[in-house]
Every structure is written in C-alpha cells, then in structure tokens.
Amino acid sequence: MSESQTIKGASDRLLLVVDLAGTFLFGLEGARTAIGGNLDFLGVMVLAFATALGGGIIRDLLIGDHPPASLRDWRYATTAFLAGAFVFFLYRVQQGVPASLIVVLDAAGLSLFAVAENQKVLAFQINPLIAALLGTITGVGGGTIRDMLLAQVPVVLRAKVYATAAFFGSVVMVIARRIGLRPTVAAVIGGVACFALRMLAVHYHWNLPKAT
C-alpha cells in the first residue's frame, strides 16, 4: 500500500468516526426533545433517527448520492437508535447532565456535521457557495425535521447564531481547501471555526439583527 493510500484510509476512518460521533450527539438531542414532547418509546427512536440522520439524508438526496450513506451503512442507524435508547432507559441519569454541557455537545455535533459533509460535497465538483450551503443544511437539517415533526418553528431559525455558525464553518473549510490545504486539515479548521463562533455567540448572547 502506498503512502497516499494509507493517508486516504486513515482519513476515511477519521471521517467515519467523526460522523458517528456527530450522529450519536444529535441522536441524544432528538431523543431528549421527544421525551420533552411527551412521546413514547417509538417517538423517541424516530426523533433520535430523524435528528441524527436527517441533515445528511437531505444532503445526499440533493447531490444525488443514492441510497444515502446513512442508509447504506447500518452503523449510522444503529448509532442513532443507541443514542435514543440511552436517553430513554437512562432518562433520570442523563437529566443530571448540566444544560451548559448539552449546549457544548450540540455545538460539537454541529461542527462535526459541517466538516464531514463538505469533504463529500466538494468531491461532487459543486460551486463553493452551494457547497457551503449544503454544509449548513447538513448541520441544521436534522434539527429542522425534528422541530417540524413536533409542529414547531425550527429552533435553528431562532437560536443564537446557530445555522450561521454552520455556514461560517463550511465557508472556512471551502476556502481552506481552495488554498490547497489537505482535506483533513481543512475539515479540522472549519470545524473549529464553527464551534468557536457558536460558543462565542452563546457566551456573549450574540443575536443576528432583525428588520425594523
């Protein structure tokens, strides 16, 4: 095996681990929302699945990658359901998790999804603006489906600099690729940018302006 193949193999494994970690984090969040909405075991599993995999499925449908990666590989669905079961059966345990940690984990999930996505989209030779938009959709799509299923206006349309952070991280990654950085390096830089912006926005209570 040549050196470049070894690097590619390691990069692919890293991408999978990152993707599954993001899937688990978003699955936790979907399940928590379902329980907050008084849904039963099935509802918890459905929202864990939809929140964790919805963004990636929308992206794959849009770029025409059939069937979506998260349906081709059973590890994604299994990870989402494990997160749902974890929240359901250990509800009291996980209620002890401080809200601030939840926000941090969620920002981590958002960053991971924006990163994992752009690699794939860029391989499809898509315009950079569109690539950044697809990154944003991957990051916020799952939460949007979750909230639409609960008949609520999606949190991502209201939360402090949330979708904006995903867009910013995607843009940073696309630029990093353009100036010739390696995929993994560009992904890390983009993910850190997304995470940092979201955390700063939460800490300093930044909000986007409204029309007046």
Residues contributing to the site for its own copies (CB under 8 A): 35, 37-44, 46-47, 49, 57, 61-64, 66-68, 71-74, 77-78, 87-89, 91, 124, 126-127, 129-130, 133-134, 144, 148-154, 157-158, 163-164, 207-212
Q: How far is the CB of 101 from its own copies (least distance, A)?
A: 20
CB of 13 to its own copies, least distance (A): 20
Query: CA 13, CA 124: separation in Å to the nearest integer?
Result: 20
CB nearer to its own copies: pick between 174 and 188: 174
Half-sphere exposure of 64 (CA within 13 A, CB side): 4
CB of 9 to its own copies, least distance (A): 23
Using the minimum distance from each CB to its own copies, give the nearer residue, 188 or 202. Answer: 202
The least CB distance from residue 196 to its own copies, in Å, is: 18
Q: Select 13 or 75, whichever has its Cβ closest to its own copies.
A: 75
Name the residue nearer to its own copies (CB basis): 46 or 172. Answer: 46
Sequence-distant (≥ 6) Cβ neighbours of residue 23 within 8 angstroms: 52, 53, 70, 76, 79, 80, 83
What minimum distance in Å lies between the beta carbon of 178 and its own copies? 15
Smallest gap from residue 114 Cβ to its own copies (A): 15
Nearest 10 degrees: Cα torsion 135, 137, 142, 146: 160
Neighbour-count burial of 47, counting CB atoms closer than 10 A to its CB (0-12 exposed, 13-18 middle, 19+ buried): buried
